Amino acid sequence: MKKCRCGRSGCVCILVMKREYGMEKNLKREKEHTTEYVLQKAVCFRAGEFSKEEKYIVPEEKYDLYLNGEMIHTFFCSPWYLEDLAYGFLYLEGYILKSEQIKEICVKQQEHRIEVVADKECDMHRQDVEETRKKAEERKISPKEIMSLAAALDERSHRFRLTGGVHSAALAKDGEILLMREDVGRHNAVEKLLGACVREQIDTADKTIVFSGRVAAEILEKAAAIGAPTLIAVSAPTSRAVELAEEKGILLVGFARGESFNVYTFPERVTIRATA
């Protein structure tokens, strides 16, 4: 990996040269230039009294996405893992099929811009998610693993615990969370997770998605793009999300809290004795 020579203040530029990093050994993070939390003065009411306090709130900022010099989208998001957000959006919208198409990505924090240089043409084809999922549908998952992953997501959600305003989306295997992405927006959180999977070229056929929010149809579609055959959510799904999960062969679990959960599709894949 090489840093770009733009030399501009507040700029985290990465020239994609080689795939030398592992699952969580990502491109140089923009953490040095971003805000983890915002300390906000508030008037709080409790026990019949008002008091002036300072509260941590989650940052939300506007970023414009440029592809080959043209602005194509505006994000309202938390300023973390912005490269992954760009990868996820470009993949979902069909601008890229593989991570190799992106030659340079530059996050300019002060200008609130994400600039991407990518090949327009690609001789590769989008991974056949449906075929991949068919091969993975024989994999079972146990109630213990479902409850364990929901608990693990909650335990790792430090930003939510501090601010109460963050959604989390994680990729897991065999009861262990492999990577997690967070954002003030639930759609952004899933797109960041997708972007990480695309960029890292992760084989998701034997993985599980764990999600902190409710699952509407758009969330289900984005989760389907990731390619994992199982989606565990802490909250409820919508009727259309359940229909899509049925169509796409996704085991959809909701209300995974404590020692209980609901299975909305393919209940036969939840067994006491799970197989990898």
133 and 100 in a common domain: no
Assess whether 77 carries a catalytic annotation: no
Angle between helices 186-200 and 217-226 (to 10 degrees): 10
b (16+ CB within 10 A) / e for 189-220: bbbbbbbbbbbbebebbebbbbbbbbbbbebb
Q: What is the DSSP string of 214-252?
A: -B-HHHHHHHHHHT-SEEEESSPBPHHHHHHHHHHT-EE
- At residue 272, the pLDDT reads 78
Element containing residue 18 per DSSP (H, E)? none
Model's pTM, two decimal places? 0.84
Mean pLDDT by 10 residues, the chain (276 residues): 42 36 37 69 96 95 97 97 98 94 96 95 53 65 97 94 94 96 97 97 95 97 96 98 96 97 96 65
Residue 110 and residue 175 share a domain: no
Active-site choice (4, 13, 122, 197): 122
User: What crossing angle do the helices spanning 82-92 and 217-226 adopt, rounded to 10°?
Assistant: 100
Question: Residue 196: which domain range?
Answer: 129-269
Which CATH number characterizes residue 62's domain? 3.10.20.10
Decide which of 63, 87, 118 is a domain's last residue. 118
CA angle 196, 132, 138 (to 5 degrees): 115
